[in-house]
Structures are given as C-alpha cells and as structure tokens.
Structure 1
Amino acid sequence: MADNEMINILLKNKELLAGDDAIFKGVTKEDSPVLSSYANTPHCRKITIYHLRKTLLVSFIKEQYEEVTEYLRYVLFHAAKNGAPTRRLIGENNKINLDANFILSAPNHDTLRKVVTERIFQQLENEKSTLDLIKKINNKLGLEIPENIIKEALPYLLIRHIFVHSDGKPDKEFKEKYPQFKLDEKKKINLLKLPINDIKDKVKKLIRMIDEKMLEKDFFPKNEIQN
C-alpha cells in the first residue's frame, strides 16, 4: 500500500517539514486555517501524521470491503453463466419478479442473468451479515471453501461496519471474539497497532481460494482470474 509507505516516510522526515512559525512548511492562516492553529512541535507533527495514517487506513478498509462485495457479485454472475445448478443457485425462497417487457426486450441472456443474479445477491446482502453472505454464496455454488479461511478473513471485513456504523468502537461480542484488535484510549480499534499486511493478506487468501474453486468448476473463464 503506497499510501502507508508514504506515511512512514513523512514520519521519518517530519522535522525536515517543520516550518519556522508553523507546524509544517507552507502552512499559513489563509490557506490552512486548521493546521496553522496547531503547535509547532515534533509531537504535534507526529500526531497529525498519525491521524492522516488512520484516515487512510479507514478508507482502505472501506474500499476493500466494497471491492470484495463487487467481486462476490462477479462470482455469482459467472457461476450462473457457466453452469451452476439453477435450483441450487435460486433456492426455494429466492423468488425473482421481472417485468415481461424487460424480458422480451433484453438483448441477450447475459443481460437477464445479470439482473437475476443481482436480485439474488441483494436478497443475500439484505441479511446484513458478511459471514452469512459469504457462506451462502459458498453453499449455493458448492465451492467448499474451508471454513478456517473464511473465518480468518472475516474480521478484516467486519471492521468496515464498525468504522461506518460505530465510529470504530467495537461491541463486547466483537472484542471477545477477535482479541487481536487492540483499542486506543477512546475505545476505538487502534489501526496503528494493526499491520496493514494482515488486513490485505487474509482477505486476499479468501479471494484466491474462491478463484481456485470457481476454476475447478469451470465457473470462471481461464482468462478472467482476479488478481
């Protein structure tokens, strides 16, 4: 993650960035009214850069979750397109209503598949459980993803909800279940204590396993593997 590397460089060189009368060179009351009010001290520079790092990490966590969600949509569509059992895919409780005019005017089958799989995905997503979403797609497609791989990736997806809905403050259940997440003085998940590689690698391992299983079943074209 280049942004994180840049933050490390800023931290190492923070005193080279110090202004004569401001926290950083180039900071003025006119252009940077907030920064210009900060004390011109090494500690304040460090805290300011740390805050930037936290902001970037939260943004990364949210973006990663959105990318995984979009990837699961992609998985569902290609499975439907390439031979996933229809009854298993749709299920007994997934009733899909489509307008007759839309069906008759659809230019090709892929258009219909995309709409149907999107409706199925929305129904799964409405349960508001990341674990259930992954497990149900896993079960519907018969991918047989090892449960330990799902469980290892899960907390790094769940923390997105905590930052979006709880301002980074996990509840008691999350803290007990995932003690690897340390808290700061405000009882928020301390991202500065969380290696960025942990956030990326566990989720990437899950995606690669889904790729492999989709390939085994010929649900993915060989030239469309996710990186």
Structure 2
Amino acid sequence: MPETRSHQSFRQRIEYLHTHLSVMDASVKTALSAIHSNSEASTINDALAVEKHYTRLNHPTTESYRIFNYSKSTLHKNALVELHSIFSNYLKCSLREVLDTRPYAVLMLSDNEFSIKYRDIFNFSTLEKLYDHILDVFFKGLESQRSTKKMLQRIISKFNINAHQELSEALPFFELRHLIVHNKGEIDSTFARNYGEFFSVQEGDKVPSNYQNTHKAIVSIQALTKAVDEGLQNYMK
C-alpha cells in the first residue's frame, strides 16, 4: 500500500536515528576495546591516540567503563526521547492530511467541543492556518502528560484502525520516555506494576538504556506507525 507524505518523512527520520544510534553504540564499544587492549597507556586520551584538546578524556583508563557506559546510557535515553518526538510529529502531520480531506474528522478526537473566539478568527488568514491551530490545540499538553495511550486509543477507535497489537507492543517504550523526561529516568510504581517483569526492573531502578531496548522501541513504533498510516489512508479513501 502507498504511504502518506507524513509516513515518508517519519520513515526517513527513523532511518537516520537508527543509523546514528548504531554508529555511536558501535563506536563506544570499539573505543572501550581499544582502551583495554592498550595496557601501556595511562589515560583514555593516550589509549585512543586522540588529540589532547579532548580534555574531558584525560582520565585514567581505569575510569573508562564508568565514563563510556554513562555516554551509552545517555545516548539511548536521548534516542527514546527523539523517537517519541518523531512519532508525535508524524501523528500531527498525518492528522493534518486527514483535515485536508475530511475537516470535521479530527474534531471528534477531542473530549471537549472545539471553540474559538470571534476576534481570533482574524488571526487566521487561510484555512490551512486554522487547521494548524486546531491540531495545536489537540496536541497541547501531550508532552507534559501521560496521555499518549489515551490519544492513540482514541485515534485507533475513531478511525477504525486495526493496530491494537502494535499499540500494545509500543506502549512500554512510550512510557519509558515519560519516565526519562518527567521522573528523572527512574522507574515509578505504575511502570513497575505494568512492565516491571517485561524489562526486569522494579520501582526506584534506573530506566533500562541499552541498544537492545532502543532497537526494540524503534521496531515496535515503526510497526505501529505503519499500521496507523494504512488505517488513515483507508479512512481518507
């Protein structure tokens, strides 16, 4: 099935993210291997034979695991946050495409009736700008609330999209991102109760941040996005 313009953009951004993640994760592993194969070097700089202007690498080689594992952890946490951002952008852009063909369709996604002040109407010189405003209102608060699940369930239900399994597999990774951004990267009681066994974590643990989990997140969210995109295309026919 052909894809929407929004899905094309999503797919390209995900491919860049996945490639970057692979390059950086492999680089860290290669660097650690090089450091510990050079028994004569006393500092990380010397072991890697890099320029001295990398002043933060002027640490004893005995500190390499701590330093590089921190970098790996940060890399994967940032990737989960970026993945959510890319997916959110896809949703906003794809719903914008729906608005172009069925203007009233997106309005039914909100619990509250959409309204706009009379004087504000004059701020929208084109219908396109009004559509953009509607979506901004719809997505307001998404970044600061644990509302991704509710929003996606509503989209799937309202547009009759067959993506319940894909949503179930992707949700744990959206929740990981929520913990990274809003809970200092620590597992809370809700996550531990719902997904603790799946990730082998308990309340108070740090969010698992490694290539295996981030790769699973990318694959599952790609599958969810593909299913949503196919459903929206069917709806717009």
Task: Mark yes or no: TM-score above 0.5.
Answer: yes
> Which residue of structure 1 lines up, in the alignment, with residue 113 of structure 2?
94
What are the ranges of 5 or more consecutive residues in structure 2 without an aligned counterpart? Answer: 1-20
Distance of aligned partners of 1:182 and 1:190 in 2 relative to their CA distance in 1, 3 Å threshold: farther
2:32 is equivalent to residue 11 of structure 1: yes
- Offset of 1:125 from its aligned partner? 6.6
Distance of aligned partners of 1:49 and 1:76 in 2 relative to their CA distance in 1, 3 Å threshold: same
Q: 1:195 and 1:127 mapped to 2: Cα distance? A: 23
| Aligned with residue 24 of structure 1, among 40, 45, 67 | 45
- Offset of 1:18 from its aligned partner? 7.4
Q: 1:117 and 1:172 mapped to 2: Cα distance? A: 32
Q: Is the 8 A contact 1:153 1:206 kept in 2?
A: yes
Distance of aligned partners of 1:19 and 1:218 in 2 relative to their CA distance in 1, 3 Å threshold: farther
In structure 2, what residue type is equivalent to 1:116?
I
Q: Is the 8 A contact 2:80 2:214 kept in 1?
A: no
Q: Deviations over 1:100-132 (max 9, x none)?
A: 3x5346342212111122212326777642211
> Which residue of structure 2 lines up, in the alignment, with residue 199 of structure 1?
217
> Which residue of structure 2 lines up, in the alignment, with residue 146 of structure 1?
163
Q: Is the 8 A contact 2:42 2:61 kept in 1?
A: yes
What are the ranges of 5 or more consecutive residues in structure 1 without an aligned counterpart? Answer: 220-227
More helix by share: 2
Q: Is the 8 A contact 1:145 1:209 kept in 2?
A: yes
- Offset of 1:50 from its aligned partner? 1.5
Kindly, what percent of the aligned residue pairs are identical?
18
| Aligned with residue 173 of structure 1, among 165, 185, 190 | 190
Q: Which moved more, 1:9-18 or 1:164-173?
A: 9-18
> Which residue of structure 2 lines up, in the alignment, with residue 53 of structure 1?
72
Secondary structure of the structure 2 residue equivalent to 1:169: coil
Q: Which moved more, 1:105-114 or 1:82-91?
A: 82-91
Q: Deviations over 1:12-56 (max 9, x none)?
A: 32336778332332586x862x543x4333xx3223211111111
Q: How does 1:38-117 map to 2 (within 5 A)?
A: 38-41=59-62, 44-83=63-102, 85-86=104-105, 89=108, 93-100=112-119, 102-104=120-122, 106-117=124-135
- Offset of 1:138 from its aligned partner? 2.6
**Greater RCO, CA 8 A, separation 6+:** 2
Task: Give the TM-score taking structure 1 as reference length.
Answer: 0.77
> Which residue of structure 1 lines up, in the alignment, with residue 232 of structure 2?
214
Q: Aligned Cα RMSD in Å?
A: 3.0
Number of residue pairs matched? Answer: 211
Task: Give the TM-score taking structure 2 as reference length.
Answer: 0.74
Q: 2:36 and 2:233 mapped to 1: Cα distance? A: 52
Q: Which moved more, 1:12-21 or 1:60-69?
A: 12-21
